[in-house]
Chains A and B, each alone.
Chain A
């Protein structure tokens, strides 16, 4: 059974006429290749629309409900994400990428469009500001420059009155935001069991944010049953990929240290293997792990509430021949799949609030590497070019399948990145033959909203058809704007984050190939996000204004001073300059000092003469010299007077 199908299971249940449980929670575990573990938490609560409108909350969180009512929000999607999903080795994304966000924070929601554009903007601003307070995130920085109105990329998930008329989609991203524990704590507070019981007790900030990839999502949507009774559903998910080995390192010694030589596992088949050289052995299979070792705690109790879900809490997707041990409190048990050779095993936590549950798996060596679903698409995006003035965007989309795919490519760029749409090129070539010339590809549809400086960012949406087994390259050039002095953040030299591109793969209409590829054959669209980009902008020297002030002032003062002096000064002969009183006084004092020094010198000399015969000659010399000096002095005075 495929992961995607499994996760679609609750959705199929919902569409059935069965009564919707007011609360349910699930944890799905799946080991990934190279020693990683995927853990997907899903918490779903719902309330009847009438109770929501009269503000009687039970499992639906009151704090969020009031925000949604206050801002007339019809449907909300909020994402906090960190890290990168490794397509190449981990395969397709969980939940078709629908509960995934771009790095940082991403929010999109359908708001009541009554009252025109200013009213919608008012509601949007009220929504992001309130959510910012609720989730301790900088969502309040989502202003007009970070908001776009995508046309093709998103569709409402809920059932709306009037078929979705009278509401407007707004989308905002904060790629710079670092998601951390302070966002997880309010997230857990929204749950009925608040991380104290049930699977949510595994969610600890230290582990969640130590993951290689994690994404938290909150989705609120109305669902209407066949009978016309409508409910408002909130789905909260946390998806993480943990490095098993890293997570299992002991708590008391969290710092990674080099292992002693004896404990290293070396590949001895290498020719250069010696006592001092070691090529690390390739990991075979998977090391033994248990929930309590990976998450630091076993599952504490269960969160089985009245009118809640009665089905399983935890599901585990491992190969059928693997032994899985479950311990409830003290008793151990093995967990077997219900049917022979089924990949997924499910279990329900005991009702007792006190009992701890742990799942442990022994070490396992794969006979053949576990099959991973191929992702629908591979995508990567880079900034090209050098220098501080211009750059280019380069996106590579690669379709590994044997059928063509229609995708929507959405970019929302900050205003200081100014793209030139005439340079937009979409080229395609078959993946495995680089020698063949690239063929231009015409986008089926294109939506483009140009940026306005400091008011609006660029919004670019392309509807593309990617031919089978081929690669599409999308490029365009852009200019980097120069910001105002006060617009730079404190760490301006780090660069500016550019939000990830969002790629929506539309369900293929002609399903000619009944291949085993995941995603499309279900008939639902899936989403991808590229990594966020770092855009270096020209940054000024921030002491510049003061330097400029000082330099200009000096230049102005120089010019002004010389011209002014030239105009008002009187030019006379050097001799005619009247001696100022101060100068006369200083000269008098100097003369006195000179006289005193001279007399002192004379006295010193006199004392020296009285000594022995040798002294005479010296004395004579000294006198002569003094006489000379005196003469010189007189003559220089005369000269200086002449000069005057």
Chain B
């Protein structure tokens, strides 16, 4: 019994010593916060090291790695260190900011901490670069993919923009003998036409459609449409109807105004009056778009164009058309952004890196797979470049060019997260109220009016107008 005794006491002694050392360290270092900033102090021009943080799956990160390779080949004196933060990106980045250990360039998301950080002056104003750079300017990019804190202060530029469209299963339409959704925006369905078609394609377990008086809405086998209750999706229709989340002068809440209310009510009616689209409760049964369409749970669905990738893998006859139009054809454009931290010691090199990251050649795999769309405008307008990512590909069906490529260039609308100040806190009030609308317990007007006063207190203005 003497052996364990000795060894454990030695361990104890070691532990105590370590404790003493650690507490001594912590005391001596408290005064100098700069000891941590080891990242950027390779100051000599010879060897520049840039740090970059991104999220994403391995296949999403691959294009960044390729872009970095291309960039390093062109700039031999610069090394880029890519930090892949798999999940809880915001939490990680927040602790990094707290610890003064920020990267030079980071992928950011307009709906979360990008603007809170920008408001505290963490990012470079990219307008300065856009004004002077020969290769890139707002006019050479797809509209609505730059994010501004206020007019003239660009905090981020998006790679891989995304727009919305109406995806559908061609066979369902063929079997029902119904014309599929038009792909040309000029021929787009009105909302009522859309509802009529959706009714004919909503089938209960007895084979009756929603257009039939004997239809049983409790036993729906196939939904004619699926319009999710995510703001990304319903914002399309608010904009299409001339509404907005916030008034044009940025002073008042917009969702209780007639245009927005009408759009929200029409979507609610789709679920609760016409029974052609799953309610939030029912939609928990609806799998991802590709499976929902493939298994004929749903005939047509409004989704982001990223759905193309999954649809292509599912191997069935899918196609894409333009969304129904309430008043004006519009698509919301969503995308992440790359932002440059103000603390970078090498703004010019980081800007060059940002440009390299936008290069569609590096992300060609993601473009052809269907997940992304390119950021430079000439990849939409130059037929040779356009062909590279839209022709002879499973992910790009026949309606794609008209329904998505043409629409994003001319009918795009910026995502509300990009211009509505305090968007998250506003939505913290709006979402619970909308839950009641989607379930048909309140009209859109009642629900939005009931929170209008509280939301008004959270209205802080718009980012796209001068105060």
Partners in one complex: no
A positions within 8 Å CB-CB of B: none
